[in-house]
Amino acid sequence: MIISGSSENFCRVAPIFDANGNQIVVKSKTKVTYESQESKEKLSLQKLSALYKSKPSHIIYQEAYSTSAPDGDKQINYAKNVTQVDSVTWLHSLCSPILLSYSKPINDSNAHALMVL
């Protein structure tokens, strides 16, 4: 019932890469952002959120909002009314496979190859 009509608000932890393109493992001190599967929008959790410290791998949110960063230079997108999703295997029967497909990010060499085709 939680995701009924809200499959586009399903997010996973956005992968973090170092300068060499190697994926960094999320640890307790790592700041994570979540990636919306449909819009690829990057979202954060508020520090007062009950899920902030636990850093669940998958979440679903009711709405997203933006606010200015403390330094005022950029906007930060936050997820509001967040629920942790423990297992995603059952989501495949409810959501479009396009929304739940995972792939490696396109790097510059792949992007160039895609543009040539």
Q: How confident is the model at residue 112, as a pLDDT?
A: 46
According to the model, what pLDDT value does residue 114 have?
42
The answer to whether position 59 is within a domain reads yes
Q: Is residue 78 situated within a structural domain?
A: yes
What residues contact 12, with CB distance under 8 A and at least 6 apart? Answer: 34, 35, 37, 57, 58, 59, 102
**Position 2 in a domain:** no
What pLDDT does 116 receive?
A: 42
Mean pLDDT by 10 residues, the chain (117 residues): 64 84 78 80 89 88 85 84 79 59 56 43
pLDDT at 95: 61
Answer whether residue 22 is part of any domain: yes
pLDDT of 89? 67
Residue 4's pLDDT is 56
85 three-state secondary structure: coil
Q: What is the DSSP letter of 45?
A: -
Question: Does residue 28 lie within any of the structural domains?
Answer: yes
Identify whether 33 is part of a domain.
yes
Q: What is the pLDDT of residue 98?
A: 56
Kindly report the pTM of this predicted structure: 0.65
Structural domain contains residue 54: yes
Residue at 1 is within a domain:
no
Distance (Å, rounded) from C-alpha 56 to C-alpha 114? Answer: 33
Residue 21 identity (one-letter amino acid): G
Please give the residue range of the domain that contains residue 95: 7-116
